[in-house]
Amino acid sequence: MTTFAYGVTQLETLGNVTLINDYLDLPSRRGNNVTIPHRHGTVFVQKFYDERTIAFGIAVLGTSLADLETKMATIHGLFSEQTQQTLTIVYGDTTTKTALVTIDKPLQVQRTGSLARIVVEMTMTEPFFRLSTPIADNTVTPNSNDFHFHVTNPGTVEERNPTIILTGLYTTSTTITNSTNGAVLIYTGTIAATDTVTIGTLNGEFYATHSVSGNVIGNVTHSGSSALMPFSVGLNEMQIASAGQGGDTRVKVTFNAPFI
């Protein structure tokens, strides 16, 4: 049986969950193909998924009207949070996935005596469910200027917001290439032995943080994708090039795999 929790509260503890809508559906895509005058048809444009909504129907039964009102007050308190909350899904095979959600619409409530049937809609700004644990540790130690490795994305959709961690010694600039999709990420600058540079995306903005000197996003450039370094579904063939490697040089890619 698949179960759902909002924050730390199991939805099943609020009442009988009678409806779960859209968690098995695909979110809609935004954008349109381009129409060019004096040409047949349209020109394809890559589209991205829009936010999605997942709805739950819950039947709340009280022993009396007063008891029902008390239970509804608890539900109101739970769903009145003004920040994103974690929706956790535990599937029938025990796989656990999470998503960040908000409740922006009024509850739909239909009451009959001491029974209330409610529908709550949760908005997922990022339309993916993610595994609750990161992908397997893929740390490698480059030992040549042209070092090849691979990163596997076990999800069902491209990962566009990974975290990449470079650990020195790098005495020259570093270029990371994803041969599977053509994306290239360049860090211009040196990294002393045992120092790290962490590159990623937070709240829709790119960042790069040096363990000693702080913000170094100005040292990062990328090409081949609007994302810093996307990872296609499945195996991604990677290359890291830097003429000055030594000691315990390392590179690591981590993310919680996304599922549509």
**pLDDT tens digits along 88-134:** 999 989 999 999 999 999 999 999 999 999 999 999 999 999 999 99
Contact by Cβ (8 Å): 185, 152: no
For the chain, what percent of residues have pLDDT higher than 90? 85
Would the pLDDT of 245 be above 90?
no
139-143, 167-171, 196-200, range with greatest mean pLDDT? 196-200
Would the pLDDT of 168 be above 90?
no
Would the pLDDT of 185 be above 90?
yes
Cα separation, 162 vs 174, whole angstroms: 17
**pLDDT tens digits along 3-19:** 999 999 999 999 999 88
Strand-pair partners of 5: 10, 88
The pLDDT assigned to 22 comes to: 80
Q: What mean pLDDT do residues 65-81 have?
A: 95
Q: What mean pLDDT do residues 58-67 have?
A: 96
Q: Which residues neighbour 64 within 8 Å (Cβ) at sequence distance 6 or greater?
A: 114
Q: Where does the pLDDT of residue 246 fall: very low under 50, low under 70, confident under 90, or very high at 90 and above? A: low
Give counts: helices (H), strands (E), the chain. Answer: 1, 22
**pLDDT tens digits along 123-165:** 999 999 999 999 999 999 998 888 999 999 999 999 999 999 9
Q: What mean pLDDT do residues 48-73 have?
A: 95
At 157, is the secondary structure helix, strand, or coil? coil
Cα separation, 65 vs 112, whole angstroms: 10
Q: What mean pLDDT do residues 73-100 have?
A: 94
For the chain, what percent of residues have pLDDT higher than 70? 99
The pLDDT assigned to 24 comes to: 84
